Structure 1
């Protein structure tokens, strides 16, 4: 082989190595779109964690405190509010609200533009949510002391699982409902009947949803609560409350951590297996929820003005209500509608509706996008008008007679 051939081969080798190095360097470069997606995912994870903390620490405490004060005040004013008469009136009002939720929505005027311009609509909505929440609590207080045995608790739990309604036992901290949503007026029934098509069946569906499913949920909650009272340090109310609070928060935190895993599992399961996996996760979440509620409730009774429960309840009542309104989460007080287990597709059935900052940021982003689109539309219209005017002027100029003298 000649010297020139060797030099040409060396040159080819050098060129190949430089090409390979360039390919490696370009492959190692970070795609700006992928980098942006990574940043968005990181932000979403941080917002998700913050939403969970807000729900567990702040909103859950305010919701439990509000329920505790209304419940206790009903017991204190039992002479003015007989339990059974109050219960039946509350059931009738609840069924009425379910039947005419859409009419109430139109009457209140759920229009975001109106709400910004007119304070009256906003006040009416808060009043509606307040009385609706009191009606929900009144349906629970009458059943106090009627149950608590393992048999009633087990049968109620079995019935809810059979009817695929176990999900209705969940409450704060696993549920946040913002005040600017239509949730208080969207009240699903168990069998999803339509009032416009079958009025009689819809009324029966509402009664079944309130009396049967709602009562079973109360039996499960109260049964679990009484069982904890009997078996978790019954000799010391203070120790029992603190243990319940710690156990509840540990279970709630673990449920939030297991949520991505359960979503991955339910994504790959179908039919009955997906329903069983979702129900097991819901049962564990319910265990944490009941313990958290019991711990906060009992500790308030023991340490916040224990010698004067009436003043304690009224102070808690108004402070918690005002804070929830200011936070925009007063709708979280409501127990409304019947939801079906594993109703959502794939892994969405185990996702808790705990959206606070994420929903607020999403709404603000939607507003910006809508405003930008509106400006683009206006700019396009202006451009079209300018083009039309220019075309008209051009046509007029062409039709003008030629007055030049030859």
Structure 2
């Protein structure tokens, strides 16, 4: 029994397999149960408040205003990322950095929600959600185009991604072709425009198509039953996707080129199915059960609660849909690992602090030993040079 217990304890040490497995499971649960509902609550609040306050009687004008906010805001934050990165850093002024970075996140999150709401509502205005043809066509075109561009992974969202509020690269926004402004300003601006207008719009097409298809086929006669089914189906799919990660990583480790890309994209589409269902379930249930007679107050409450909790948890960047990421960009099977790192980052940081402290103590101890040795050598030399005053 003693040997067995020692083996278990050894596994849970830093770097042990069971230790990492436990943290991975806890991160997945945290992302699915805490971060995802908070992000959905925030997006729902901003989306619905825009419907309430911005030309509620003119859906087309409201959609156009949201589209303009989304496009102009995304381009601004893409182009201005170098300015923010150079001017604001905790090493210069921690308080100013914290205030500016959180204000940046709040403003960018507002832009992101409008960047989706605008095109989504424009499609609603010019297409009939009940007409399967006009729903399926943009949906399929979006998936194919994103797959051809190798950008299908950009459909991912919480619970399959956590973006923490770490200092490193806080203001960085990845563009499609990875062009730097210092290299060629014109090409960089065109890269930003392509990333926002093409890739971003295609992602909205895919999400909107999946959402509307669920509206049409998942108990359309009962909003409540449809929402609960979406929530259950979504979390079952999310749990299965997390469980399949090791299998998919093993598969992608052994595939090369196009086959690895196809396997990764199929897995991404399955995770998208779970994500859309979770978002749709939470969103609709909030509309149905949380102060349904006063949606304005309901949205404001969820807005502030979700935003404050995400900031306090250090996950407010999970609200943002920014940057373009390339499919299967990581080596081997890492391309199918969901970036849900929260507790693992915390423990890693604590471990790094302990190691740094231990190294510092070791250095101080070595210096003290060197000083003691030098003092001992000096005393010994002085003792040897003293004259012998003994009288015989």
Name the counterpart of 2:78.
Answer: 98
- Cα deviation digits, residues 199-247 of structure 1 (max 9, x gap): 2211111111111111111111111111111122212111111111111
Deviation at 1:87, TM superposition (A): 2.7
Pairing of 1:109-188 with structure 2 (within 5 A)? 109-111=89-91, 115=94, 118=95, 120-147=96-123, 149-182=135-168, 184-188=170-174
Name the counterpart of 1:378.
Answer: 364
Structure 2 residue runs of 5 or longer lacking an equivalent are 124-128, 130-134
Name the counterpart of 2:33.
Answer: 57
- Cα deviation digits, residues 174-223 of structure 1 (max 9, x gap): 01122235354232111111222222211111111111111111111111
Q: Secondary structure at the match of 1:97?
A: helix
Q: How many residues align?
A: 375
| In structure 1, C-alpha distance between the alignment counterparts of 2:293 and 2:11, rounded to whole Å | 56
| The one of 252, 255, 271 aligned to 1:285 | 271
Deviation at 1:400, TM superposition (A): 5.0
- Cα deviation digits, residues 235-274 of structure 1 (max 9, x gap): 2111111111111111111100101100111111111111
Rg larger for: 1
Deviation at 1:34, TM superposition (A): 9.5
Name the counterpart of 2:126.
Answer: none
Q: In the superposition, relative to structure 1, how do residues 384 and 157 fare at CA in structure 2: closer, same or farther (>3 Å)?
A: same
Q: Secondary structure at the match of 2:122?
A: coil
Deviation at 1:38, TM superposition (A): 6.3
Q: In the superposition, relative to structure 1, how do residues 181 and 285 fare at CA in structure 2: closer, same or farther (>3 Å)?
A: farther
On the 8 A contact 1:87/1:142 being kept in 2, the answer is: yes
Q: Secondary structure at the match of 1:352?
A: coil
Q: Secondary structure at the match of 1:175?
A: coil
On the 8 A contact 2:11/2:19 being kept in 1, the answer is: no
Deviation at 1:339, TM superposition (A): 0.5
- Cα deviation digits, residues 127-185 of structure 1 (max 9, x gap): 21111111111111111233361111111110000001010100000011222353542
Name the counterpart of 1:193.
Answer: 179
Deviating more after overlay: 160-169 vs 233-242: 233-242
Deviation at 1:109, TM superposition (A): 1.6
CA RMSD of aligned residues (A): 2.4
Name the counterpart of 2:67.
Answer: 87
| In structure 2, C-alpha distance between the alignment counterparts of 1:106 and 1:379, rounded to whole Å | 38
On the 8 A contact 1:129/1:184 being kept in 2, the answer is: no
On the 8 A contact 2:176/2:191 being kept in 1, the answer is: yes
| In structure 1, C-alpha distance between the alignment counterparts of 2:292 and 2:4, rounded to whole Å | 62
Q: Secondary structure at the match of 2:116?
A: helix
| In structure 1, C-alpha distance between the alignment counterparts of 2:383 and 2:364, rounded to whole Å | 28
TM-score, length-normalised on structure 1?
A: 0.86
On the 8 A contact 2:177/2:191 being kept in 1, the answer is: yes
1:347 maps onto 2:333 in alignment = yes
1:232 maps onto 2:218 in alignment = yes
Deviation at 1:35, TM superposition (A): 6.6
Name the counterpart of 1:3.
Answer: none
| In structure 2, C-alpha distance between the alignment counterparts of 1:332 and 1:273, rounded to whole Å | 30
Deviation at 1:361, TM superposition (A): 1.1
TM-score, length-normalised on structure 2?
A: 0.89
- Cα deviation digits, residues 355-396 of structure 1 (max 9, x gap): 121211111111111111111112222222333333344444
Deviating more after overlay: 288-297 vs 193-202: 193-202
Deviation at 1:292, TM superposition (A): 0.6
